[in-house]
Chains A and B, each alone.
Chain A
Amino acid sequence: MRLRHVLLLAALSLSACGGRPAAGGADDLAQADQVNDPLEGTNRFLYRVNDGLDTYVLRPVAVGYRNVVPGAVRRPIRNVLNNLSSPVVFANDVLQGKPRRAGDTMMRFLINSTAGGAGLFDVATDWGYPRHGTDLGVTLALWGVGDGPFLFLPVLGPSNVRDAGGFAGDTAFNPLTYATFGGSTAVNVGRFVIGAIDARERLIEPIDDVKRTALDPYATFRSAYGQNRRSTIEDTRNDRRATVPAWFNR
């Protein structure tokens, strides 16, 4: 297991060294900087596959979910999913060396699993422990691993080599991945499927907007994904709140 980890890390850091296209002026460089996509041909093919899948299956299901399940029910479902992801978020907070964020995640898990009715209600936010998400991709980035080439994955959408590896690592690390409920994997499959529907429901408008307004939706998703990840990584890096919570200083 440890060897595999090391190999994965080595592969990731190698891929992070991938070259950039040659560029002329400073402006060219700035634009080329945004794009590290040597697999563009394959990615565009996968984008079209995913687009078909999305148009005929994923989006209609997400729209149906929004229309049939009222917001008052969707929100607790999302809270439960968020709560179940807490152990993985916590592990990454620790690996990132962010004790305050780790503390927030642990308190949220303890509070919401009990006072929040098994995670149905997010009372921890009101108690001063706001939610943040994070993943192994962010952790690896903070350890100095570069993005690596851009990838477009069916169902999962835009990614890159580092973040896709991170997703695999997070899944492998999550104890729930290995939990069987009476020998059945139905609960896990359900968790993944509902998680995907919930995520797609939140993205109905943004994705519709891009498809409606972009001349090259693929390039637009690629650009937006890269910017969003860079911003998430920098926000995490710059979260240097003291470990002592605010109420202690009063």
Chain B
Amino acid sequence: MLTRRTTLLLGAASLIALVAPRRAWAQDTTGFIVNLGNQLAAIVNSGGGYDDKKRRLAPLIEEAVDVDGIAQFCLGIYWRRATPAQQTEFRRLFHAVLLNNIGGKLGQFQGVTFRPTTTSQREGDSVVGTVIQRPNQQPNNVQWVVSTASDRPKIVDVQAEGVSLRLTQRNDYSAFLTRNNNNVDALLSAMRQQAGA
């Protein structure tokens, strides 16, 4: 009798030990994404012009997104083939291009609402599911892959309707490089044009 009760207690305790921290990270990463969404909405709906909005967007992205990690992922096998100077330049341009790309989409975020659905874990990262609703459009499922490896959460990927943005970007770069004799400098000069620098 006693042993059964002890076993039950132990079982309950270990269940709580398993569940409690999971709840905590789920709330943390979901809160992180919701908070980020609200900050984005504040910028989108503010009165300033495009340049002003982009200036305020930059620190938000640098804070919330693991841009360096994504950059390295996107260069794929070419990362190791690139010289250190090329790597540094690629990273610098990647930051600028990403900011331009997100900045260019700000207009589309007008009137957008989103709500978090489920949060799960996948290969060590947290995946926060959201449903994004644009006016007069069908809702879209967007998942935010958040790494909690460092002390603060960072977005490492965004997946819209199953399409991973970092994987798509990597395929774009690799297709470009394949058609340009695997020349990383050709990629850098194309990115320089995109960055407008």
Measured CB to CB, the residues of A under 8 A from B are: 25, 27-28, 31, 34-35, 71, 74-75, 202, 205, 209, 212-216, 218-220, 222-224, 227-228, 230-232, 234-235
Cα distance, A144 to B93, chains bound together (Å): 43
Q: Identify 19 residue pairs between A and B in the complex whose beta-carbon atoms are under 8 Å apart, listed by A's number.
A: A31-B171, A31-B174, A71-B136, A202-B137, A205-B108, A213-B97, A213-B194, A214-B172, A215-B172, A215-B190, A215-B191, A219-B172, A219-B175, A219-B176, A223-B171, A227-B164, A227-B168, A228-B162, A231-B161
4 closest residue pairs by CB, A with B: A231-B162, A219-B175, A71-B136, A223-B171
Q: Which of B164, B171, B187 contacts A35 (CB 8 A)?
A: B171
B167 at the A interface (CB under 8 A): yes
B83 at the A interface (CB under 8 A): no
Q: Which of B104, B171, B173, B194 contacts A34 (CB 8 A)?
A: B171
Complex interface: chain B residues within 8 A of A219 (CB): 171-172, 174-176
Q: Are A216 and B167 in contact (CB under 8 A)?
A: no
Cα distance, A220 to B176, chains bound together (Å): 10
Q: Are B104 and A31 in contact (CB under 8 A)?
A: no
Cα distance, A215 to B173, chains bound together (Å): 7
Supplied contacts A31-B170, A209-B105, A231-B162, 19 more A-B pairs, CB within 8 Å? A28-B77, A31-B76, A34-B167, A34-B171, A74-B136, A75-B136, A202-B138, A213-B97, A213-B101, A215-B172, A215-B173, A218-B175, A219-B175, A219-B176, A220-B168, A220-B172, A227-B164, A227-B167, A234-B162
Complex interface: chain A residues within 8 A of B97 (CB): 213
How many chain B residues sit at the interface, stated as a range, is 20 to 34
Complex interface: chain B residues within 8 A of A25 (CB): 77
Q: Are A216 and B76 in contact (CB under 8 A)?
A: no
Complex interface: chain B residues within 8 A of A234 (CB): 162
Cα distance, A35 to B179, chains bound together (Å): 14
Complex interface: chain A residues within 8 A of B164 (CB): 227
B16 at the A interface (CB under 8 A): no
Cα distance, A221 to B179, chains bound together (Å): 16
Complex interface: chain A residues within 8 A of B136 (CB): 71, 74-75
Q: Are A216 and B176 in contact (CB under 8 A)?
A: yes
Complex interface: chain A residues within 8 A of B173 (CB): 215
| Chain B binding surface SS class | helix
Cα distance, A235 to B162, chains bound together (Å): 9
Which of chain B's residues 137-188 have a Cβ closer than 8 Å to chain A?
Answer: 137-138, 161-164, 167-168, 170-176, 179, 187
Q: How far is the CB of A131 from chain B (nearest CB, A)?
A: 9
Q: Are A27 and B76 in contact (CB under 8 A)?
A: yes
Q: Which of B104, B105, B162, B168 contacts A230 (CB 8 A)?
A: B162
Q: Which of B77, B105, B163, B168 contacts A231 (CB 8 A)?
A: B163
Q: How far is the CB of A120 from chain B (nearest CB, A)?
A: 16
Q: Are B163 and A227 in contact (CB under 8 A)?
A: yes
B196 at the A interface (CB under 8 A): no
B135 at the A interface (CB under 8 A): yes
Cα distance, A214 to B187, chains bound together (Å): 12
Q: How far is the CB of A227 from chain B (nearest CB, A)?
A: 5
Q: Are B135 and A71 in contact (CB under 8 A)?
A: yes
Smallest Cβ-Cβ distance to A205: which chain B residue: B108
Smallest Cβ-Cβ distance to A222: which chain B residue: B171
Complex interface: chain A residues within 8 A of B76 (CB): 27, 31
Cα distance, A227 to B163, chains bound together (Å): 5
Q: Are B179 and A216 in contact (CB under 8 A)?
A: yes
Cα distance, A235 to B104, chains bound together (Å): 31
Cα distance, A32 to B137, chains bound together (Å): 35
Cα distance, A234 to B141, chains bound together (Å): 15
Contact indicator per residue, chain B 85-106, by CB within 8 Å of chain A (1) or not (0) = 0000000000001000100110
